[in-house]
Structure 1
Amino acid sequence: MNINVGIIGGGGYAAGELIRLLASHPEANIDFVYSRSQGGRPIRSVHQDLIGKVEMDFAQSVNPEVDVIFLCMGHGNSRRFLEENNVPDDMKIVDISRDFRLSEDAGYKGGKRFVYGLPELNHGKIKTADLIANPGCYASAIELALLPLASRQHLQQDIHVQAITGSTGAGRKRSTTSHFSWRDGNISIYKALNHQHEGEIKESLQSLQAGFDKGIHIIPVRGNYTRGIFVTAYTKIDFKENQAVELYHDFYRDAPFTAVSSEPVHLKQVVNTNNCLLHVQKVGPHLLITSIIDNLLKGASGQAVQNMNLMFGLDENVGLDLKANYF
């Protein structure tokens, strides 16, 4: 199989990682990388880690004959692009923005709908889908921490979450809070108890536990490092730790990228991989779950490639055999 791929919006961090992954993918061929701001420039001039690996220029037009396109633009721009451009009806699409993630936003032309692209939740649906809404990075880490509990109707109390993210989570565009002088040696919260990913998290949990109506209280934290998300979530449960651990192992038994660790986890175990590592422990009446991912890979481009693999009938781990940057 040779999957011809187009990338729309090629200048950002997630796009750079997507290009890196697809350039080494044994079944994919990058046909074009379109960028309105960088058109005509060598890709390596923006993504300098691709020097000697990708000898292409950013395209100034879009080839509608590819097999799949990845939309790597800012939120709100994916829907606008699809409305303003003549995208073939049979084109497979993976959108990395949040434009189509919620069920109320998932509709597309011809009555088609985007499928929420968390493979650990919607594996079967993704395999038969043409349109994928890639989950958010925070949402991926938090959902993977909680889905096993929802699968057994165990979410009966409010959920409290603290999630620390690296500076790449803010995107490539410069801002005060991503500037080195501000971020280094610093820490702060933002969008506390009002994060934009809460809606998709709740919908994912409700897909397994229909009556779930408890609060999800998220405190996002800006970390003074570049990549990775470190989530700690807790909620009250009425069963033992060993039963919880067994539940998590059973739920992720067939998931190639999500694993449950018997030891406490740390962020370097997943950076530069498409993996999610979980640790589960009972503390008094609470179950404490730690969930760690690379925000640019399992939280964005790695998961997008995983979804592409499923859509085209490949093993979902093709092209994603990545080692963590442990040292």
Structure 2
Amino acid sequence: MLEVGIIGGAGYTAGELIRLLLNHPKTNINFVFSTSNAGNKLYKVHQDLIGATEISFSSEINADVDVLFLCLGHGNSTAFLQKNSFSKNTKIIDLSNDFRLLDDKNFEGKEFVYGLPELNKKAIQSTNYIANPGCFATALQLAILPLASHGLLKNDVHINAVTGATGAGTSLTATTHFTWRDNNFSHYKAFNHQHLGEINQTVHQLQSDFKSEINFMPNRGDFSRGIFATTYTKCDEPLEEVIKMYEAYYKDAAFTFVTNQNLFLKQVVNTNNCFIQLEKHGEKLLITSMIDNLLKGASGQAIQNMNLMYGFQEDTGLKLKANYF
């Protein structure tokens, strides 16, 4: 059994991570560190865990755990690791954006690997440090990885994607109150969302000569969780060849599936899956991709990375059924 520690245990991402780890056959939660909730039972904050555990939030850290998950706000993981040291055998999986970009991946002797299994599976299996991808970045990269791997992103890429309210975290803001979100819809960070850095980095990793624009319009949806993304770009390849290309690229992927059926978000909510559908409209290739932002877009992918790092079957603890009904 792996002894696991969690830093920053009160948010949506941490709540899902705790739920998954409690039901994972290879893990034991050693501590969940929180200064504001120390001494409180986990289920006092994550009320879906009533009856599932009697673990309390801790004010102490065990530096000898096997795996450490960082569920801190962006920018806070670096500060935390500067103040706290862990065993050389402790594997660290960071769910913030602190180490995702190439300029940030080296930190105090630790080299973080970008943890998108469909891109970097072999590197993930041999590292001790993972930078877990962002939620939008996961859904959008999975939509275009096969094209980039064949050098077929020769024109501008246009993306429209909508995320649920949980994507904004637990802290209340003007746009997360129920009365604002209910029966409402809006875009934000048009063309300059922070996940574009990850996406462009990955595209250039696979297709070094990519010089076009990735135009990304993120939207806030009137629902709790999930990301539904539509991506289109000019593509001269016949649809049948593109489908074969995608199926070949994802043939060994544990959670990414190509389908010819029309997609709707409930198919992936509460799972670690990504579903992809392809269509041609004249010269335009339309790629629909969708994930659960808290699972494949965060905590589920973090567990997937842990499984790969330890040589477990990739879907261990992640055989989840969608909230279809």
- TM-score norm. by structure 2 comes to 0.99
Aligned to 1:36: 35
* Cα distance in structure 2, aligned partners of 1:141 and 1:316: 19
Deviations 1:203-231 (A, max 9, x none): 11111111112111000000000000000
Question: 4+ residue runs of structure 1 moved beyond 4 angstroms?
Answer: none
Give the gaps of 5 or more residues in structure 2: none
Q: Secondary structure at the match of 2:37?
A: coil
* Cα distance in structure 2, aligned partners of 1:90 and 1:78: 19
Deviations 1:170-225 (A, max 9, x none): 00111111111100100000000111000100111111111112111000000000
Q: Secondary structure at the match of 1:287?
A: strand
Deviation, 1:87, is 2.3
* Cα distance in structure 1, aligned partners of 2:281 and 2:153: 16
How many matched pairs?
Answer: 325
Deviation, 1:264, is 1.2
Deviation, 1:26, is 0.3
* Cα distance in structure 2, aligned partners of 1:24 and 1:298: 17
Asked whether the equivalents of residues 13 and 294 of structure 2 are also in contact (C-alpha less than 8 Å), the reply is yes
Alignment of 1:82-93 (within 5 A): 82-93=81-92
Alignment of 1:205-216 (within 5 A): 205-216=203-214
* Cα distance in structure 2, aligned partners of 1:21 and 1:175: 28
Q: Secondary structure at the match of 1:322?
A: coil
User: Which one-letter code corresponds to 2:260 in the other structure?
Assistant: S
Structure 2 counterpart of 1:124, from 99, 122, 125 = 122
Q: Percent identity?
A: 56
Aligned to 1:153: 151
Alignment of 1:130-141 (within 5 A): 130-141=128-139
Alignment of 1:166-315 (within 5 A): 166-315=164-313
Deviation, 1:39, is 1.1
Identify the range of structure 1 (81-90 vs 138-147) with the bigger mean alpha-carbon deviation: 81-90
Asked whether the equivalents of residues 64 and 86 of structure 2 are also in contact (C-alpha less than 8 Å), the reply is no
Deviation, 1:80, is 0.4
Q: Secondary structure at the match of 2:300?
A: helix
User: Which one-letter code corresponds to 1:267 in the other structure?
Assistant: L
* Cα distance in structure 2, aligned partners of 1:156 and 1:285: 13
User: Which one-letter code corresponds to 1:44 in the other structure?
Assistant: Y
* Cα distance in structure 1, aligned partners of 2:210 and 2:129: 27
Aligned to 1:80: 79
Q: Secondary structure at the match of 2:175?
A: helix
Q: Secondary structure at the match of 2:39?
A: coil
2:111 paired with 1:113? yes
* Cα distance in structure 2, aligned partners of 1:113 and 1:209: 23
Deviation, 1:88, is 2.6
* Cα distance in structure 2, aligned partners of 1:248 and 1:7: 36
User: Which one-letter code corresponds to 1:175 in the other structure?
Assistant: T
User: Which one-letter code corresponds to 2:25 in the other structure?
Assistant: P
User: Which one-letter code corresponds to 1:60 in the other structure?
Assistant: S
User: Which one-letter code corresponds to 1:303 in the other structure?
Assistant: Q
Deviations 1:118-170 (A, max 9, x none): 00000000000100000000000000000000010000001000010000000
* Cα distance in structure 2, aligned partners of 1:221 and 1:65: 41
Q: Secondary structure at the match of 1:177?
A: coil
